[in-house]
Amino acid sequence: MPIPLGEFTFRLAAGFALGSAIGCERQLHHHMAGLKTNALVATGSSLFMMLPLFMGGVESASRVGAQIITGIGFLGGGVILRDGFHVRGLNTAATLWCSAAVGTIAGLGEYWAASIGMGVVLLVNIGGRPLSRLLGEEGLSGSVTGIIYSLRVVATKSKERELRARIVALGEKSRLTLVSMKVEPLAADSISILAQFATPEDSTGTLRSLVGNFHFEDGVVSAEWQTVEPSAK
């Protein structure tokens, strides 16, 4: 017998409400998948889990649940982005995965279990943030704990490829993580390369040595570095 309309509405509302609660935390911290995305993921999961009940049985519920997991895997993969040497969106993808699980449980009518699941997700996202900073973990939203250094080199266009390669190599051979690099054309056949590095420790010696070497090279007009911002502990 199909699920009663009242029970269907209550389960769907539970999935929506719990997914919205997870999404509110994401929205407040300016992550890619916020209130609407998490609410829709949880609501959709609830709908799919109730689909077998409209078909007159529950024997296919486990198969539907497995397909939800697969579908959310594709959705989560879409929010994971590579930015230089950083990978953004892992925490967002994991949160979407958890929202789907919460919605799936709500769709089964297990409201208390779904509420506990939502609470654990919020606990991890809220309580885990200061712990990650304490441990010096790179923020998955793209921010990096540590010191941010800015490096600017002005040189002739013919030196661009060489300088970019050396800047990238610096990030690969040291604890400096290359966050961004931008090249801008200047007058008189010259370019400006602006790079930013992040590191959990003082790396002024490394940057001072690199800039010093640049000063003695043909084709380099100027080179300088500075500290952009220290991390907030």
140 confidence band (pLDDT: 50, 70, 90): very low
Q: Which of 68, 63, 40 is nearest to 55 (CA)?
A: 63
| Alpha carbons 95 and 132: distance in angstroms, whole number | 16
Answer whether residue 48 shows pLDDT above 60: yes
Q: Higher model confidence: residue 2 or residue 45? A: 45
Is pLDDT larger for residue 183 or for residue 60? 183
Q: Is 66 exposed, middle or buried (0-12, 13-18, 19+ CB in 10 A)?
A: exposed
Mean pLDDT of the region 187-193: 86
Taking the C-alpha atoms of residue 217 and residue 151, their distance in angstroms, rounded to an integer, is 16
Out of 61-65, 130-134, 139-143, 149-153, least confident range: 139-143
| Cα dihedral 14/32/233/136 (nearest 10) | 100
* Owner of token pair 């994971």: 80
Question: Which range, of 64-73, 81-90, 221-230, averages the lowest pLDDT?
Answer: 81-90
d(CA 84, CA 142): 11
1 has a pLDDT exceeding 80 = no
Residue 31 has φ and ψ, to the nearest 5°, of -90, 165
Domains and CATH numbers, the chain: 5-135 (no CATH), 147-229 (3.30.70.260)
Q: Which of 118, 160, 166, 89 is nearest to 20 (CA)?
A: 118
pLDDT of 144 reads: 45
Q: What is the pLDDT of residue 17?
A: 92
Question: What is the reported pTM?
Answer: 0.53
Report how far residue 26's alpha carbon sits from residue 37's, in angstroms, rounded to the nearest whole number: 10
Lowest mean pLDDT of 37-51, 58-72, 215-229, name the range: 58-72
Looking up tokens 């000063």 gives 215
Return phi, psi of residue 232, to 5°: -90, 115
Higher-confidence residue of 173 and 208: namely 208
Measured CA to CA, the distance from residue 171 to residue 141 in angstroms comes to 20
Q: Is the pLDDT of residue 138 over 50?
A: no
Q: Specify the higher pLDDT residue, 192 or 75.
A: 192
How confident is the model at residue 13, as a pLDDT?
A: 92
Q: Is the pLDDT of residue 156 over 60?
A: yes
